[in-house]
Amino acid sequence: MTESENRQQQAKVLRAVRKIHRTTAIFLFVFFLVVSLSGILLGWKKNSNQYLLPNTHKGTTANLDEWLPIDRLHQIALQTLKDSISNNLSPELERIDIRKQKGIVKFIFEQHHWGIQLDGATGDVLSIGKRRSDFVENVHDGSIVDKILGTKGYFKLFYTSIMGLALLTFVLTGFWLWVGPKRMRSNR
């Protein structure tokens, strides 16, 4: 292969890589915008002055022997949900987050993202807060679509796979768009 043919081949590869990079960017622009903005919010959730995520409080003891039974704490959380937030909200739990070292239990509700923190030993309500970061996380990873469509995590799996492969494509094509012209100049 002559030097001219080699340069033409390198230019052809560079054009193809540029087209892949540009086409991927065009098709996934909105998704990357959503992922980047929601990622920024998630990065700042603990520094959002409790707007995105309530602070984790501290209970009276980390000794589990002194704690109330989880069932009793759950009853307190449900009563607090009804009395302090709304009687009309679903009591369905997403999870119970036990923070032994902090002496607290967090009850996080499924459909409305409210969280109630209780002292594990006394059952005192330490915090009632909207967990907006849970919604942002559902947007970030695509699971919001699964919740809307009832697709049991399939959309999230598809979405995260596509976004991961797209990011890998951007890294590889971006690297080549940076290296390719340097290679062509050095082969003159």
HSE of 80 in the Cβ direction (CA atoms, 13 Å)?
22
For residue 135, which of 58, 34, 55 has the smallest C-alpha distance? 34
Domain of 90 in residue numbering reads as: 54-130
Q: What integer pLDDT is reported at residue 51 of this predicted model?
A: 96
Listing DSSP states for 136-163 in one string gives HHHHHHSHHHHHHHT-TTHHHHHHHHHH
In a domain, 140, yes or no: no
Whether residue 117 contacts residue 104, with contact meaning beta carbons closer than 8 Å, is answered with yes
What's the rounded Cα separation, in Å, for the pair 58 and 95? 19
| Residue where a domain stops, chosen among 130, 157, 174 | 130
Does the residue 99 lie in any domain?
yes
Structural domains of the chain, count: 2
Residue pair 132/53 in contact by the 8 Å Cβ criterion: yes
Residues 24 and 84 in one domain: no
Tell me if 139 is assigned to some domain.
Answer: no
Residue 59 and residue 39 in one domain: no
- Any idea what the CATH number is for the domain that residue 59 is in? 3.10.450
For 37-94, the pLDDT digits (tens) are 999 999 999 999 999 999 999 999 999 999 999 999 999 999 999 999 999 999 999 9
Q: How far apart are the first and last CA of the chain?
A: 14
**Do residues 30 and 87 share a domain?**
no
CA dist., res. 66 & res. 64, Å (int): 5
Let me know whether 111 and 160 are in one domain: no
- Going by the DSSP 8-state scheme, the letter that residue 121 receives in this structure is T
The answer to the question of residue 100 being in a domain is yes
Give the residue-averaged pLDDT of 141-159: 94
DSSP 36-105: HHHHHHHHTGGGSTTSSSPPP---S---GGGSPPHHHHHHHHHHHIIIII-TTS---EEEEEEEGGGTEE
pLDDT 10s digits, 93-138: 999 999 999 999 999 999 899 999 999 999 999 999 999 999 999 9
